[in-house]
Structure 1
Amino acid sequence: MAQPSNAQARSSTGHVLLPAFNSNDVPVLVPLVTSRSLISWTFGRGTVIWRIWPAVLLHTAFAAAVVTISMKTHFNLGIPNVMLTVLGTADFHCTVRHSLTQYTGVVIGFVISYRASSGYDRYWQGRGAWSDLARTSRTFSRLVWIHVPLKLAPIPTDPSGKAGELDVSVARRVMAEKRAALGLIEGFVVAVKHHLRGKIVLVC
């Protein structure tokens, strides 16, 4: 009798088992470490240069314009070398420059504070989601390991009302499936971690 394919294989409880390996039974070895070329280290996947280059060019052009005007004309656009968030407390002789710098310092202070707080919020949300995933996986693993009985059907009772003996072979089959279920739960968490980090893992 022909053996069923991996896609049609069923467990002892009748559930369809999805294939966890390729159909050719040939392991596919994928390197765990990505290439270490100069391009991958400088402009690789983890860089943000492709997202920030317009802002970098804009600020560079603005700074070049300020320096050019200050050096080529009689207008002095320089400000004291103080922190951006305390520009409003600097003492300037020009009233217009004082008001402009004061409002600019307040706005920049709010922007920096908002960016810092929003970045921390995003980090904390991700940390909380990962904690929930780990906690839920542990809880589900405990439920499977403790509450799944070592039998496939109710054990018949004898005429006196006593329960029959547990079949050792059936118990071993159930224990094997319970271990497989725990391995799948653990593998899911690890797969989520590698997927979020964009890592290449070993597939076999």
Structure 2
Amino acid sequence: MKKSIAVIFPGTGYTCEEQLLVGCAKKYAAFGYDIVKIDFSEIPFREIETIKEAVEIAKPILLTQLKKIDFKNYDNVVFISKSFGTICAGWLEEHLSIMPQQIFLTPIEEMLPYVKKSSRIIGMVVGTEDRLMNYNFLKSYCAEKNIPCIVFNSVGHSLKYENYPEKTNAINEQIYNLCRV
């Protein structure tokens, strides 16, 4: 029987308990995947001046949280990452020399160097009001590399409409459709 695992990488102020990431985890759990949720709560993001510094702090935390997992024992590996987590998911793919399928939710520029020709990217998601990634740039980048890119109009980095939960739910449903075997 095939074994599968999905690893959820949150952002700096966006935990694995956010509705979007919970829904992605539930979707993969329904497919029979083991679910691992990364916890960045011990990183003092407010005290850190650069993304690079935060990533250096995150690396040993990631390796500690994942040390009991031998990814070679899995036939299917999926990384679902949000914002800061996209850098960590990209770094981990390279560091462990594994080939997970990746879903990058609101990727930030520092993640892009980790995208290789061999990367197995299910898709990238961004909003037109994202303050950390220009959606036109990401659309062009993805088109060049033949990566599916979903752009949501009038939504920012959180991928939420603060006063319109039904619109946020519609965004989430479209993203859940990326979660497939």
* TM-score category, normalised to shorter length: under 0.3
Q: TM-score, normalised by structure 1?
A: 0.17
Greater RCO (Cα-Cα under 8 Å, separation 6 or more): 1
Give the structure with the larger strand fraction: 2
Larger Cα Rg: Structure 1 or Structure 2?
Answer: 1
Give the structure with the larger helix fraction: 1
Q: TM-score, normalised by structure 2?
A: 0.19
